[in-house]
Amino acid sequence: MGDEVKTPLYAEIFEVLRDEIAAGIFPVGDLLPSEASLCKRFDVSRFTVREALRRLQAAGMVSRVQGAGSRVLRDTPSGVFVQKYRSMSDLTQFAEETNLEVLGTKNTLLDPDLANRIGGNAGDPWLSIRGVRRMPDGDPLALVESFVPQRFAAIAPDLARGPGPIYAGLAEAAGEPIRDVEQETQAMPAPPQVAQALGLVSGAPCLCILRRYSSQSGTLIASFNWHLGGDRYIHRTRIGLGQPPR
Amino acid sequence: MGDEVKTPLYAEIFEVLRDEIAAGIFPVGDLLPSEASLCKRFDVSRFTVREALRRLQAAGMVSRVQGAGSRVLRDTPSGVFVQKYRSMSDLTQFAEETNLEVLGTKNTLLDPDLANRIGGNAGDPWLSIRGVRRMPDGDPLALVESFVPQRFAAIAPDLARGPGPIYAGLAEAAGEPIRDVEQETQAMPAPPQVAQALGLVSGAPCLCILRRYSSQSGTLIASFNWHLGGDRYIHRTRIGLGQPPR
DNA sequence: TTTCAAGATTTGTCCAGACAAATTTTGCTT
DNA sequence: AAGCAAAATTTGTCTGGACAAATCTTGAAA
């Protein structure tokens, strides 16, 4: 019964060309066929072909020069980076552009291991929220875990909305401004749980981001744990000025 | 007369909307006018408006949702990205992991144009060092130009080693600590010189990084100009902590 | 052989229109 | 007031065509 996701034509063409480039049918350094001939081959309008080529270009696989043609720059999408989400404020945007599917919430006592990881006191009552962030098209992007003290449970719904809105909410709930945000980033093979949630193959690279919000008095207010997978990654935002590098 | 640079319509519209967003005419969080009304306002086809909106979206300023409209996410474009080397400390690592092939050194008087670009005084005697940074396997990665006052010529060999080691050397030569490091990043098609040095094809994206070191008293100590190409990028290092995102 | 101009090729810009798909609004019904 | 279905709105996909601008190719002239 139906329910199939309809793929745009340009997306199909993009995939065909991407795979053919990967297979070496169009070697790196060579020109792709012209737009006109691709139109004939796929029997579509130039708009559709250009849309596909534009995506190949966005993936860093193809360079397009007026008058010269489209040249193959590399045979795989230039994954890893971040094309879109780069800095902390981008993370806010990330939260706004994606949807959270809440998998569950849990009241727990902070176990020593986690307490150590997020810098809280073991045994304190904390609240845990787990969910999957999806692109508007349903593509899973990240597995997110939020940790806050249970006394902040009232703003739990806001927590689900991401780092932007919660920022003010956290400060308000804590009764003082947020003084510091720390972030640790680590690349690792996707843990089974993450791989399953994000549809990754076992062993696929995944990016783990741990983020801590502290109040003015140094109290830990919240901790977020992101696991990002697939070909969309995020980088660490760091301060580098004023201190000579070693 | 003549010699004018023709700007595409969508580029003009992009700039108008970008500036209006920056000016707060379309506040962050609000919807932009619909494509149809923008068509009327600028008296262009929907294609042209969509092309402009697409660029606003690519700049991270606007989110577009089918059926809902285009929403303003931020009032300034967000910068460039990253693949391997990301922060200032990564640049140090970059310098340590790569070899510099010195192409030449030159004593020059700071010409007005360059003086303006790097913030020095025109006519001062400066030293210029050009070279290619290569990966251990010989793969060319970046074309680097270093500029320092000739009174620092003694540490020129160190300059060739990259930003890490020179940091201390510069401070020592200047007789006072380095107070500030400024960095400007720009993505551009590789200039011929750069393309040739790095073995890039015409039209390949290249990243231009201009870095200025200033002493405590505000004197410019050194300026470095990097052109990075191929599939290895660097992004602008920014400070994002302490201020709650809006 | 070299140089240069004309032509051919290829991508960039732009239009007008059509329908599809998603969301929001409206208004009726309960 | 609340729920729900229809209508209106808005962006997404796609066609066909036209001309401009940049690059490459060809061939004649020097």
Of the candidates A236, A238, A245, the beta carbon closest to that of B92 is on: A245
Q: Are B99 and B136 in contact (CB under 8 A)?
A: yes
**B164 has a chain A CB within 8 A of its CB:** yes
pLDDT of residue A195: 65
Determine contact, residues A177/A215, Cβ cutoff 8 Å.
yes
The 3-state DSSP class for residue B130 equals strand
Q: Estimate in Å the CA A66 to C1' D27 gap, whole number.
A: 24
Q: What is the CATH number of the domain that holds A53?
A: 1.10.10.10
Task: Provide mean pLDDT across the span B38-62.
Answer: 89
Nucleotides of chain C in contact with protein CB (under 7 A) are 8-18, 20-24
Question: Are A178 and B65 inside 8 Å of each other by CB?
Answer: no
| Separation CA B35–CA B45 (nearest Å) | 9
Is B108 in CB contact (< 8 Å) with chain A?
no
Q: Is residue A167 part of a domain?
A: yes
CA distance A179 to A164: 15
Task: Note whether residue A3 is domain-resident.
Answer: no
Which CA distances in Å does A225 have to A183, A214, B52, B108, B233? 10, 15, 36, 53, 27
pLDDT tens column, B177-216? 555 555 444 444 556 666 666 665 544 445 556 666 666 5
Name the residue among A213, A72, A193 with its Cα closest to residue A144.
A193
Q: What is the DSSP string of A111-144?
A: -HHHHHHHT--TT-EEEEEEEEEE-TTS-EEEEE
Answer whether B242 sits within 8 Å of A180, measured CB to CB.
yes
pLDDT tens, position by position, B57-98: 877 678 787 888 888 877 776 533 323 333 344 444 445 545
Using the structure, give the distance in angstroms from the CA atom of A60 to the C1' atom of D22, rounded to a whole number.
22
A65 Cβ contacts chain D strand, under 7 Å: yes
Q: What is the pLDDT of residue B52?
A: 93
At A190, the amino acid letter reads A
State whether A224 and A109 are in the same domain. Answer: yes
Whether B205 and B115 map to the same domain: the answer is yes
Residue A77 placed within a domain: no
Mark whether B115 and B196 lie in a shared domain: yes
A76 Cβ under 8 Å from any chain B Cβ: no
DSSP state, residue B161:
T
Last residue of a domain, which of B72, B103, B120? B72
Q: How far is A195 from chain B (nearest CA, A)?
A: 23
CA distance B116 to B28: 35
- Domain check: are B48 and B98 in the same one? no
Chain B closest-CA separation from residue A83 CA (Å):
6
**Nearest nucleotide over every DNA/RNA strand to the B12 CA, judged by C1':** C13
Chain A CB contacts of B238 under 8 Å are 87, 237
Q: Is the CB of B189 under 7 A from strand D?
A: no
User: Exposed (0-12), middle (13-18) or buried (19+): which is B187, by Cβ within 10 Å?
Assistant: middle
Chain B closest CA to A46's CA: distance in Å? Answer: 14
Q: Are residues B100 and B184 in the same domain?
A: yes
> What is the DSSP-derived secondary structure letter of residue B201?
P
Domain total of chain A: 2
B83 CB near a chain A CB, below 8 Å?
yes
Claim to verify: residue A125 and residue A27 sit in the same structural domain: no
Q: Tell me the range of A49-58, A143-152, B155-164, B170-179 where mean pLDDT is highest.
A: A49-58
Quick one: A224 and A137 in the same domain? yes
Of the three residues A41, A72, A103, the one that is the final residue of a domain is A72
Asked if B171 is an interface residue toward chain A (Cβ–Cβ < 8 A), one would say yes
pLDDT digits (tens, 9 = 90+) for A27-82: 877 889 999 999 999 999 999 999 999 988 877 678 787 888 888 877 776 533 33
Domain closes at, from A27, A45, A72:
A72
Are residues B136 and B181 part of one domain? yes
Q: Let me know if residue A245 belongs to a domain.
A: no
Residue A125 lies in a domain: yes
Measuring CA to CA, which residue among B105, B104, B113, B111 is closest to residue B125? B111
A65/A92 same-domain check: no
Distance CA B2, CA A188 (A): 57
**CATH number of the domain to which A183 belongs:** 3.40.1410.10
Are B67 and B92 within one domain?
A: no
Residue A67 contacts B where some CB pair is shorter than 8 Å? no
Residue A83 lies in a domain: no
Most confident option among A148-152, A184-188, B163-167: A148-152
Rounded Cα distance between A217 and A202, Å, is 42
A217 touches strand D (CB under 7 A): no
Provide the ipTM: 0.52
Statement to judge: residues A55 and A112 lie in one domain? no
Highest-pLDDT range among A3-17, A46-60, B135-149? A46-60
User: Across the A/B interface, how many CB contacts are shorter than 8 Å?
Assistant: 113
Q: Which of A87-96, B91-100, B107-116 has the highest mean pLDDT?
A: B107-116
Structural domain range at position A20: 9-72
In a domain, B244, yes or no: no
Together in a domain, A106 and A173: yes
Residue A238 lies in a domain: no
